[in-house]
């Protein structure tokens, strides 16, 4: 096990009706004037918007608001939010939504406190030394941003998705009411589940040996997702299944599943080019890329695919031909993704084979290798894209 630090100071208020506590929580964590940040009209239709406003008013907390966050959140709205927050002397950002809204809120929170261009953080040109506190009311179980250090923003100038991370970006509180996810359609639900599972896989596929505790925690989250996802697809208002998935999404990405080990993240980076270019739902893009990554990588380095198969997918170990075990695990994962309605090819997500060289160029514009479990060069990543473009 490698040395690590772990600091996850988010206060989680989990369960039915917890959104009514938002005013008190903003107050507890020092907010006196709030930027309320959200996406489209769904929180207004559902009544959540009104409940949030009421809870803020009840505590006498003034707010300004900025809606309009889109999936794969854009730099343009972040600039707008930073300007608004400064003009209005806001000292707290409240994200009401899923990963895109939270990531956009984190970008605003850090950007307000920085004199330069907030994208410097995302381009690796500056470190985050200060940020406004961010609070969250989560409406989609997927990104794990409600408990993570991370934020991903699409730079509109270059159509590139870039990530930034800092302990200062961990939300100070996250309100997680599984009922708020009842209205997600099966596609969004399945894409969220896929994202959660790949957050774990990026950590599970590691060259660090002797990380038994995190291995077992990773498997715990994956097994939960295998069990619960079909249940919510079948019955969208299954509270307990929604609850298990929502909490699993946090556990998958606050890094309790990743400490002490090298992590991979190739699938995420290969996917990011798809969602930046075609505005694909990130989880659906991962459903296309991750199994291809697995099938490519298993041939080079099968080791970790054995416990993935035996522990997560209950494949019996074939001691005569362990590669069969490894491949059977990947096969079960692919079948699972198909069963929950996820795509597996470029054509299903509107991606085009002729763009592959462009995407590969972008990935390798600043680095020679992608991933860690197996270091992939340009040709490797081209092959992975081709595996799903050719079908």
Positions that interact with a copy of itself (CB under 8 A)? 1-18, 178, 209-214, 216-217, 219-221, 223-224, 227-228, 239-241, 243-244, 247-248, 251, 256, 259-260
Q: Minimal distance in Å, beta carbon 172 to a copy of itself? A: 10
Q: Based on C-alpha coordinates, what's the Rg of the chain?
A: 20
Q: Minimal distance in Å, beta carbon 168 to a copy of itself? A: 13
How far from each other are the two terminal CA atoms of the chain, in whole angstroms?
40
DSSP string, 274-340: HHHHH---HHHHHHHHHHHHHHHHHTT--TTHHHIIIIIS-PPP-SS-HHHHHHHHHHHHHHHHHHT
Toward a copy of itself, which CB reaches closer, 51 or 223?
223
**Separation between Cα atoms, residue 130 and residue 288, nearest integer Å:** 37
Q: Are 92 and 32 in contact (CB under 8 A)?
A: yes
**Separation between Cα atoms, residue 319 and residue 211, nearest integer Å:** 23
Q: Minimal distance in Å, beta carbon 246 to a copy of itself? A: 9
Toward a copy of itself, which CB reaches closer, 74 or 170?
170
Toward a copy of itself, which CB reaches closer, 213 or 391?
213
Toward a copy of itself, which CB reaches closer, 131 or 241?
241
Q: Minimal distance in Å, beta carbon 216 to a copy of itself? A: 3
Q: Minimal distance in Å, beta carbon 330 to a copy of itself? A: 21
Q: Minimal distance in Å, beta carbon 174 to a copy of itself? A: 10
Toward a copy of itself, which CB reaches closer, 238 or 347?
238
Contacts of 39 (CB under 8 A, 6+ apart): 67, 68, 69, 70, 97, 98, 100, 101
Q: Minimal distance in Å, beta carbon 18 to a copy of itself? A: 7
Toward a copy of itself, which CB reaches closer, 276 or 312?
312
Closest CA to 1 of 209, 258, 304, 257: 209
**Separation between Cα atoms, residue 237 and residue 179, nearest integer Å:** 7
Q: Minimal distance in Å, beta carbon 10 to a copy of itself? A: 8
**Separation between Cα atoms, residue 221 and residue 301, nearest integer Å:** 23
Q: Minimal distance in Å, beta carbon 315 to a copy of itself? A: 16
Toward a copy of itself, which CB reaches closer, 104 or 214?
214
Toward a copy of itself, which CB reaches closer, 132 or 248?
248
Angle CA 3–4–8, to nearest 5: 165
Contacts of 146 (CB under 8 A, 6+ apart): 10, 102, 136, 138, 171, 174, 176, 249, 250
Toward a copy of itself, which CB reaches closer, 64 or 220?
220
Backbone angles phi, psi at 59, to 5 degrees: -90, 0
> Hey, what's the torsion of the CAs at 123, 126, 128, 130, to 10 degrees?
-130
Beta bridge partners of 175: 13, 137
Toward a copy of itself, which CB reaches closer, 109 or 175?
175
Q: Minimal distance in Å, beta carbon 234 to a copy of itself? A: 15
**Separation between Cα atoms, residue 166 and residue 391, nearest integer Å:** 40
């Amino acid at each position: 096990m490698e040395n690590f630090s772990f600091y996850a100071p988010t206060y989680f208020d989990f369960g039915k009706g917890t959104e009514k506590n938002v005013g008190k929580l903003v107050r507890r964590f020092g907010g006196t004037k709030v930027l309320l940040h959200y996406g489209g009209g769904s929180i207004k239709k559902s009544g959540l918007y009104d409940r949030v406003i009421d809870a803020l008013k009840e505590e006498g907390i003034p707010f300004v608001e900025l809606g309009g966050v889109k999936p794969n959140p854009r730099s343009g709205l972040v600039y707008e939010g930073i300007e608004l927050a400064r003009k209005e002397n806001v000292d707290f950002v409240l994200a009401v939504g899923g990963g895109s809204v939270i990531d956009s809120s984190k970008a605003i929170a850090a950007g307000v406190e920085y004199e330069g261009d907030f994208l410097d953080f995302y381009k690796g040109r500056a470190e985050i030394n200060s940020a406004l506190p961010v609070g969250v009311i989560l409406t989609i179980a997927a990104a794990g941003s409600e408990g993570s250090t991370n934020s991903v923003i699409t730079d509109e100038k270059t159509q590139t998705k870039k990530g930034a991370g800092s302990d200062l970006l961990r939300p100070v509180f996250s309100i997680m009411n599984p009922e708020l996810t009842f209205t997600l359609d099966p596609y969004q639900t399945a894409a969220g589940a896929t994202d959660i599972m790949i957050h774990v896989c990026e950590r599970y596929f590691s060259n660090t040996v002797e990380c038994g505790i995190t291995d077992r925690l990773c498997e715990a989250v994956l097994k939960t997702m295998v069990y619960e996802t079909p249940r919510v697809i079948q019955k969208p208002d299954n509270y307990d299944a929604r609850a298990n998935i929502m909490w699993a999404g946090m556990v998958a990405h606050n890094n309790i599943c990743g400490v002490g080990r090298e992590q991979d993240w190739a699938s995420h980076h290969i996917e990011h080019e798809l969602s930046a270019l075609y505005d694909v739902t990130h989880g659906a893009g991962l459903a296309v890329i991750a199994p291809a990554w697995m099938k490519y990588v298993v041939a080079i380095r099968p080791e970790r695919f054995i416990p993935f198969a035996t522990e997560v997918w209950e494949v019996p170990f074939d001691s005569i031909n362990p590669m069969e075990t490894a491949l059977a695990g990947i096969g079960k994962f692919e079948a699972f993704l198909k069963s929950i309605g996820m795509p597996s090819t470029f054509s299903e997500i509107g991606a085009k084979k002729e763009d592959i060289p462009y995407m590969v160029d972008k990935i390798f514009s600043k680095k020679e290798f992608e991933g860690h479990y197996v270091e992939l060069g340009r040709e490797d990543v081209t092959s992975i894209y081709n595996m799903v473009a050719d079908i």
